[in-house]
Structure 1
Amino acid sequence: MQPIHADKRSQKRRNTIYYLEVYDLDSGQLLGRLADITVQGMLLLSESPIVPERTYKCRMVLPAEILGRGNILFDATCVWSRKALNDDFFEAGFRSLIADPGDIDAIEMLIQRFAFNDL
């Protein structure tokens, strides 16, 4: 599946100043490191391929406590996956499915405090 083009996004992606770790709760393994984020989705860099069209239960470790949270739990569906420019890594685009309004607020605060550069 091809990446969603920027003109199809309702929000601009934002790079974070940290490569935050995102874990697969089912396996307990590191799914990837956050490259950019919006409230609606994210781009992860990973050392192994990520299965497209699969929904993962995720835990993102925050760089500091945000709104009383050290982690954010959410479901995310891999929309696309491909080899990164650096052949040692893979990149994957996700659509996030966040039900808890507090988690959405925490992601918005994360973007405000730890993101730079619109893409």
Structure 2
Amino acid sequence: MTDERRQQQRLQIPVTLEVFDVRSGQRLGRVVDLSVGGFMLFSEQPQAETSYQCRIAPTPPSVGLDQLILGAECLWSRAGADGQHHWSGFHFESLNEGQHLHLQALLECFSHTP
């Protein structure tokens, strides 16, 4: 039996999406997979299990892909096998209608990418 806690399927991202903490401007890491409920982050440092105001932006900037600013809570953070990188799971907090629609459009775009 698997211990699967996700309620939505996460998609692998075919572009580089970088995540920044809006409050500090610090780069948190890179999105590995994404769903309407949250994302997995790959980073050089562990993330605190707290809420962040995140700016998720394609790097380099991409035509048709706008940045997304939303609240996300880090639910867990673990060291990678190499001991130098970290994996963290984030859950989106209180998306307004515009944020939700933007996220759905982004996911729809990625679901049709070969």
* TM-score, scaled relative to structure 2: 0.83
Mark the runs of 5 or more structure 1 residues left unpaired by the alignment.
none
Question: Taking CA–CA contacts closer than 8 Å with sequence separation of 6 or more, which of the two structures ends up with the larger relative contact order?
Answer: 1
Change (3 A) 1:114 1:56: same
Higher strand share: 1
The two structures, once aligned, show a CA RMSD in angstroms of: 2.0
CA distance in 2 between partners of 1:96 and 1:110 (Å): 15
2:69 is the alignment partner of 1:73? yes
Partner of 2:88: 92
Q: Deviations over 1:73-113 (max 9, x none)?
A: 11110000001234321110011114321221111121121
* TM-score, scaled relative to structure 1: 0.80
CA distance in 2 between partners of 1:16 and 1:98 (Å): 23
Select which of 15, 22, 25 maps to 2:22.
Answer: 25
Percent sequence identity is 31
Partner of 2:12: 15
Partner of 1:108: 104
Mark the runs of 5 or more structure 2 residues left unpaired by the alignment.
none
CA distance in 1 between partners of 2:38 and 2:78 (Å): 17
Moved over 6 A (4+): none
SS at match of 1:102: helix
